[in-house]
Amino acid sequence: MGVGIASERRLLSEDELERVKLSHYPELRTLEPDETLALAKWLRERRNRIRDIIATRHRARRGKTTASGIGAPEASERGLSEKKQVFARAIRRVNARLDRERTERRRERIRTNFDAALRRKRSSLRHHPEAGETSVDGMQPIGSDRRAVTTERSEIGRVSQAVKTAQAKRDS
């Protein structure tokens, strides 16, 4: 459930309210990237400060530490918790804006690189190598580097016949 601007006005002091109003959309679009980063940093600091106060109060209530300078430990953290949520939502809006700006810059950089590559490709000379040998006259044999081994005709069946003869002698 969202917190309305009236609730933000009730929870925040004047200077905090002015900064949080900058995180809402019509005003957020008008901020420069550096101002947006500064706003995000300030919002994070405020949220972390309130988170630390709540945690210290919890520790004091459990008896882990003494309550020094953080207000009464028995006081309710409901208002602080709502205030922390207001800052968290403001941070979420600002981070979304920063992500969109980052994405736009990245797209622009990619587009610039793509255009430069396309210009380089279009300005280069086209390389069309010769087709080389073609099959117009039919396939041509390619010579082999292996040496040809010639066997005499009288040697062709000699080994297999010798094996047959040796086997027949053993069998009988």
Q: Please say whether the beta carbons of 120 and 49 come within 8 A.
A: no
Q: Tell me the backbone φ, ψ of residue 170, rounded to 5 degrees.
A: -70, -40
**pLDDT value of residue 72:** 59
Q: Provide the residue-wise pLDDT of the chain in tens; the chain has 172 residues.
A: 456 778 888 889 889 999 999 999 888 999 999 999 999 999 999 999 999 988 888 888 888 877 666 665 556 678 899 999 999 999 999 999 999 999 999 999 999 999 999 999 999 888 888 877 666 677 778 888 888 888 887 777 888 888 899 999 999 8
Give the DSSP letter of residue 23.
T
N-terminal to C-terminal alpha carbon distance within the chain = 104
* CB-facing half-sphere around the CA of 110: CA atoms within 13 A: 6
Q: Give me the pLDDT at residue 74, please.
A: 59
Whole-Å CA distances, 138 to 24, 58, 98, 134, 142 = 78, 92, 67, 8, 13
Residue 1: the pLDDT is 46
Q: What are the domain boundaries of the chain?
A: 5-123
CA distance 172 to 168: 6
Residue environment code for 42-81, b if the CB has 16+ CB neighbours within 10 A, otherwise e:
bbbebbeebeebbebbeebeeeeeeeeebeebeeebeebe
